[in-house]
Structure 1
Amino acid sequence: MSREISDNAQQSRFELHEDGILAGFAEYQRKPGQIVFTHTEVDPAYEGQGIGSALARGALDHVRAEGGLSVVPNCPFIKGWIGKHPDYQDLVA
Protein backbone atom coordinates (compact mmCIF):
# COMPACT_ATOMS: atom_id res chain seq x y z
CA MET A 1 0.00 0.00 0.00
CA SER A 2 1.51 3.32 -1.04
CA ARG A 3 0.18 6.78 -0.25
CA GLU A 4 1.22 9.85 -2.16
CA ILE A 5 0.16 13.40 -1.40
CA SER A 6 0.64 16.04 -4.07
CA ASP A 7 -0.37 19.61 -4.78
CA ASN A 8 -2.55 19.71 -7.89
CA ALA A 9 -2.20 23.47 -8.42
CA GLN A 10 -4.27 23.41 -11.62
CA GLN A 11 -7.30 22.22 -9.64
CA SER A 12 -6.34 24.13 -6.46
CA ARG A 13 -6.27 21.09 -4.25
CA PHE A 14 -3.99 18.69 -2.43
CA GLU A 15 -4.65 15.12 -3.43
CA LEU A 16 -3.97 11.82 -1.70
CA HIS A 17 -3.54 8.82 -3.96
CA GLU A 18 -3.65 5.33 -2.47
CA ASP A 19 -1.92 2.83 -4.75
CA GLY A 20 -2.37 5.27 -7.64
CA ILE A 21 -6.10 5.85 -7.02
CA LEU A 22 -7.44 9.23 -5.88
CA ALA A 23 -8.72 8.60 -2.35
CA GLY A 24 -9.25 12.17 -1.13
CA PHE A 25 -8.53 15.84 -1.67
CA ALA A 26 -8.41 19.15 0.18
CA GLU A 27 -9.42 22.17 -1.89
CA TYR A 28 -7.89 25.56 -1.32
CA GLN A 29 -7.74 29.12 -2.57
CA ARG A 30 -4.48 31.02 -2.65
CA LYS A 31 -4.45 34.66 -1.60
CA PRO A 32 -1.44 36.91 -1.02
CA GLY A 33 0.41 35.35 1.91
CA GLN A 34 -2.41 32.89 2.66
CA ILE A 35 -3.81 29.55 1.68
CA VAL A 36 -7.50 29.16 2.49
CA PHE A 37 -8.68 25.57 2.88
CA THR A 38 -12.30 25.40 1.76
CA HIS A 39 -13.32 21.74 1.48
CA THR A 40 -11.96 18.27 2.19
CA GLU A 41 -13.42 15.11 0.75
CA VAL A 42 -12.55 11.42 1.14
CA ASP A 43 -13.93 8.79 -1.22
CA PRO A 44 -16.45 6.69 0.76
CA ALA A 45 -14.50 3.53 -0.15
CA TYR A 46 -11.56 4.89 1.89
CA GLU A 47 -13.40 6.28 4.93
CA GLY A 48 -12.13 5.10 8.29
CA GLN A 49 -8.64 4.38 6.97
CA GLY A 50 -6.91 7.58 8.12
CA ILE A 51 -6.99 9.16 4.67
CA GLY A 52 -8.38 12.48 5.92
CA SER A 53 -5.79 12.78 8.65
CA ALA A 54 -2.92 11.83 6.33
CA LEU A 55 -4.19 14.34 3.78
CA ALA A 56 -4.45 17.15 6.33
CA ARG A 57 -0.97 16.46 7.70
CA GLY A 58 0.55 16.19 4.22
CA ALA A 59 -1.10 19.37 2.95
CA LEU A 60 -0.06 21.36 6.02
CA ASP A 61 3.47 19.97 5.87
CA HIS A 62 3.61 21.11 2.24
CA VAL A 63 2.44 24.60 3.24
CA ARG A 64 5.06 24.73 6.00
CA ALA A 65 7.83 23.60 3.63
CA GLU A 66 6.82 26.18 1.03
CA GLY A 67 7.06 28.91 3.65
CA GLY A 68 5.64 32.42 3.65
CA LEU A 69 1.99 31.33 3.85
CA SER A 70 -0.46 31.33 6.71
CA VAL A 71 -3.40 28.94 6.78
CA VAL A 72 -7.04 29.98 6.94
CA PRO A 73 -8.94 26.79 7.85
CA ASN A 74 -12.45 27.53 6.55
CA CYS A 75 -12.93 23.80 5.96
CA PRO A 76 -14.41 22.25 9.14
CA PHE A 77 -12.29 19.11 8.76
CA ILE A 78 -8.97 20.98 8.43
CA LYS A 79 -9.97 23.33 11.26
CA GLY A 80 -10.82 20.40 13.54
CA TRP A 81 -7.64 18.54 12.61
CA ILE A 82 -5.47 21.56 13.45
CA GLY A 83 -7.36 21.90 16.74
CA LYS A 84 -6.30 18.35 17.66
CA HIS A 85 -2.67 18.87 16.59
CA PRO A 86 -1.27 21.93 18.38
CA ASP A 87 2.08 21.59 16.57
CA TYR A 88 0.30 22.98 13.48
CA GLN A 89 -1.33 25.98 15.24
CA ASP A 90 1.57 28.21 14.24
CA LEU A 91 0.44 28.00 10.60
CA VAL A 92 -3.00 29.51 11.31
CA ALA A 93 -3.53 33.13 10.29
Structure 2
Amino acid sequence: MADLTDKTGAPVTVTREDGRFTVAVDGKTVGLTAFADRPGQRVFYHTEVDEAFGGRGLASIVIADALAATREEGLRIVPVCPTVLAYVRKHPEFAGIADRPTREILDSLGLAT
Protein backbone atom coordinates (compact mmCIF):
# COMPACT_ATOMS: atom_id res chain seq x y z
CA MET A 1 0.00 0.00 0.00
CA ALA A 2 1.20 3.49 -0.83
CA ASP A 3 2.00 5.97 1.89
CA LEU A 4 -1.14 8.00 2.51
CA THR A 5 -1.35 11.64 3.53
CA ASP A 6 -4.29 13.93 4.11
CA LYS A 7 -4.73 17.36 2.53
CA THR A 8 -2.37 18.88 5.12
CA GLY A 9 0.36 16.35 4.34
CA ALA A 10 -0.05 14.50 7.65
CA PRO A 11 0.60 10.73 7.52
CA VAL A 12 -2.61 8.69 7.42
CA THR A 13 -3.23 4.99 7.94
CA VAL A 14 -6.34 2.98 7.16
CA THR A 15 -6.97 -0.20 9.14
CA ARG A 16 -9.62 -2.83 8.70
CA GLU A 17 -11.27 -3.83 11.93
CA ASP A 18 -14.32 -5.94 12.69
CA GLY A 19 -17.20 -4.29 10.82
CA ARG A 20 -15.35 -1.13 9.91
CA PHE A 21 -12.36 0.52 8.34
CA THR A 22 -10.75 3.20 10.50
CA VAL A 23 -8.57 6.13 9.51
CA ALA A 24 -5.83 7.46 11.77
CA VAL A 25 -3.72 10.61 11.60
CA ASP A 26 -0.32 10.41 13.27
CA GLY A 27 -1.46 7.20 14.96
CA LYS A 28 -4.72 8.63 16.39
CA THR A 29 -7.97 7.11 15.07
CA VAL A 30 -10.14 9.99 13.88
CA GLY A 31 -12.73 8.41 11.61
CA LEU A 32 -14.35 5.30 10.19
CA THR A 33 -16.66 3.80 7.65
CA ALA A 34 -18.83 1.00 9.03
CA PHE A 35 -20.10 -2.00 7.09
CA ALA A 36 -22.09 -5.19 7.39
CA ASP A 37 -21.23 -8.16 5.20
CA ARG A 38 -23.95 -10.15 3.47
CA PRO A 39 -23.54 -13.00 1.01
CA GLY A 40 -21.60 -11.47 -1.89
CA GLN A 41 -22.07 -7.91 -0.65
CA ARG A 42 -20.59 -5.41 1.76
CA VAL A 43 -23.14 -2.84 2.96
CA PHE A 44 -21.61 0.50 3.95
CA TYR A 45 -24.05 2.19 6.30
CA HIS A 46 -22.16 4.88 8.24
CA THR A 47 -19.11 7.11 7.86
CA GLU A 48 -17.80 9.68 10.32
CA VAL A 49 -14.72 11.81 10.91
CA ASP A 50 -13.90 13.74 14.08
CA GLU A 51 -14.96 17.37 13.54
CA ALA A 52 -11.50 18.57 14.56
CA PHE A 53 -10.14 16.75 11.49
CA GLY A 54 -12.83 17.84 9.02
CA GLY A 55 -11.95 19.21 5.60
CA ARG A 56 -8.78 17.14 5.30
CA GLY A 57 -10.15 14.52 2.91
CA LEU A 58 -10.14 11.76 5.51
CA ALA A 59 -13.61 10.41 4.69
CA SER A 60 -12.58 10.04 1.05
CA ILE A 61 -9.34 8.32 2.05
CA VAL A 62 -11.01 5.72 4.28
CA ILE A 63 -13.84 5.13 1.79
CA ALA A 64 -11.43 4.72 -1.14
CA ASP A 65 -9.41 2.16 0.78
CA ALA A 66 -12.52 0.32 2.01
CA LEU A 67 -14.06 0.12 -1.47
CA ALA A 68 -10.80 -1.03 -3.04
CA ALA A 69 -10.48 -3.77 -0.39
CA THR A 70 -14.09 -4.80 -1.00
CA ARG A 71 -13.48 -5.06 -4.74
CA GLU A 72 -10.30 -7.11 -4.11
CA GLU A 73 -12.34 -9.51 -1.95
CA GLY A 74 -14.77 -10.02 -4.83
CA LEU A 75 -17.70 -8.47 -2.98
CA ARG A 76 -20.24 -6.00 -4.33
CA ILE A 77 -20.72 -2.59 -2.69
CA VAL A 78 -24.05 -1.46 -1.27
CA PRO A 79 -23.74 2.25 -0.45
CA VAL A 80 -26.39 3.05 2.17
CA CYS A 81 -24.30 5.80 3.78
CA PRO A 82 -24.78 9.08 1.85
CA THR A 83 -21.04 9.80 1.95
CA VAL A 84 -20.18 6.42 0.44
CA LEU A 85 -22.93 6.85 -2.17
CA ALA A 86 -21.53 10.26 -3.16
CA TYR A 87 -18.04 8.76 -3.44
CA VAL A 88 -19.28 5.92 -5.69
CA ARG A 89 -21.09 8.42 -7.92
CA LYS A 90 -17.88 10.46 -8.32
CA HIS A 91 -15.72 7.39 -8.99
CA PRO A 92 -17.15 5.36 -11.88
CA GLU A 93 -14.58 2.61 -11.38
CA PHE A 94 -16.87 1.33 -8.61
CA ALA A 95 -20.18 1.69 -10.49
CA GLY A 96 -19.98 -1.81 -11.96
CA ILE A 97 -19.85 -3.44 -8.51
CA ALA A 98 -22.36 -1.20 -6.71
CA ASP A 99 -25.88 -2.38 -5.84
CA ARG A 100 -28.84 -0.31 -4.73
CA PRO A 101 -29.93 -1.02 -1.17
CA THR A 102 -33.09 -3.11 -1.04
CA ARG A 103 -35.80 -2.96 1.59
CA GLU A 104 -34.46 -6.28 2.93
CA ILE A 105 -31.00 -4.78 3.39
CA LEU A 106 -32.38 -1.66 5.08
CA ASP A 107 -34.59 -3.80 7.33
CA SER A 108 -31.60 -5.93 8.33
CA LEU A 109 -29.81 -2.77 9.44
CA GLY A 110 -32.88 -1.37 11.19
CA LEU A 111 -32.97 1.54 8.74
CA ALA A 112 -36.23 0.97 6.83
CA THR A 113 -39.06 3.37 7.49
Calculate the TM-score normalised by the size of structure 1: 0.91
Question: Alignment identity in percent?
Answer: 36
Structure 2 counterpart of 1:7: 16
Any residues of structure 2 matched to 1:1-93 within 5 Å, and which?
1-9=10-18, 12-67=19-74, 69-93=75-99
Q: Give, in angstroms, the shift of residue 65 of structure 1.
A: 1.6
Where do 5+ consecutive residues of structure 1 fail to align?
none
1:3 Cα deviation after fit: 1.0
**Structure 2 length-normalised TM:** 0.76
Considering only CA atoms, is the larger Rg found in Structure 1 or Structure 2?
Answer: 2
Q: Which has the higher contact order (CA 8 A, sep 6+)?
A: 1
Please identify which structure carries the higher strand content: 1
Amino acid at match of 2:17: N
Q: Which amino acid in structure 2 is aligned with residue 83 of structure 1? A: R
Per-residue CA distance 1:9-44 (angstroms, 9 max, x = gap):
2xx111011111112100111111110000000110
Unaligned runs of 5+ in 2: 1-9, 100-113
Residue correspondences, number: 90
Cα RMSD (Å) = 0.9
Q: Which runs of 4+ in 1 moved over 3 A?
A: none
Q: Residue 60 of structure 1: CA displacement? A: 0.5
